[in-house]
Structure 1
Amino acid sequence: MDIALFSPSSLFADDGDDEEVSVDEDQTEIHQSYVERKHQFSGIELLIREFSFHQLNANLLWPGTFAFSEWLVQHQSWIDGRRCLELGSGTGALAIFLRKSFNLDITTSDYDDQEIEENIAHNCQANGITPVLPHIKHSWGDPFPTADPDWDLVIASDILLYVKQYPNLIKSLSYLLKSYKPKEDKAVCPVGNDQNSGNVRAKIIIY
């Protein structure tokens, strides 16, 4: 995947009161700094650790996350009873919000990068989610690490920065849709279901 050519810091609030902590990454000479910020979601406050920089911009909580979370609150019937996969989870904030607010069965995923996975796990623990949310390392277009994906809802927000990656994104989404096997589940809300059979069909929501 292409490395980000810029750090979109101008899109994010600059909170001068946040405490920055310097951490040593792998005992090298490169020092990664981060801040832990309190973010207000609908009816809940989350403490999210954000890194100063990541080559794929997975370090910050993007503004669209808040708008998307509000949309999902207003359309809760779309997520009730679903098994969800979030693409481009970044800090994991949206997935954490959905688990805490709706007890959603959700798996995070992002570029195959250990730092991203560890930061999502940190944010889960900081917000009282233990065990941490399951996570899938997946770079769009690469073979999917799960042979039989059974998520019936795929969500994502603020993931369309890398225009060159659109074909790879479509490849991954197509695989998830084609691999999903509908299941009979009357407990799931009928939105997006097969009206004749009651089978739950997989859906994708990108904000």
Structure 2
Amino acid sequence: MTDDEVLNEFRAAGALLEGHFKLSSGRHSGHYLQCARVLMNAARAERLAAALVERMPQDLVSAIGAVVSPAMGGIIFGHEIGRALGKDAMFVERPTGTFELRRGFALAPGQKVLMVEDVVTTGLSSREAIAAIESAGGSVIGMASLIDRSAGQAVFDMPYFALLKMDFPTFPADDLPPDLAEIPLSKPGSRNA
């Protein structure tokens, strides 16, 4: 799947938004890729996950024992990656502010895990999810996301694969370009930043 084909999936779902958005990272942007909306169609989510798995090296794919995603945004895409890999998919959540496995999910000591996100902007929540997986006994051997919008700033100590890299500029709240500052703010994500 080419970058244009991925973007066409977002366009077809009405999930490529323009305006003034506050991202989960707290930064502001004139563009927003609404991953939940593009993934609401199960056939589309399956296509996108299969396309990402096809880009991953076979030695990594064959080593993966489970898929774990952070709630809320990563759950659907993580599940579809699990389906494409033929592996169980679990998620970590923040009931008290720190990611942890719950709901009877468990990893065997040293179990090799692919951590899957919907979108990566700064990589902070990804690193927190990786720490939780490792605290639960898993060994994170790779990371994947539907979208990497970090502009190369999110770096991990493991192989990282994204289906689409988008370099939409982001800005701190106190340093917005005048044209962006004039547009009413919207917060379409799942977390308050």
TM-score under structure 1 normalisation? 0.32
Q: Which structure has the larger Rg?
A: 1
TM-score under structure 2 normalisation? 0.34
Q: Which has the higher strand share?
A: 2
Which structure is richer in relative contact order (CA contacts within 8 A, separation 6 or more)?
Answer: 2
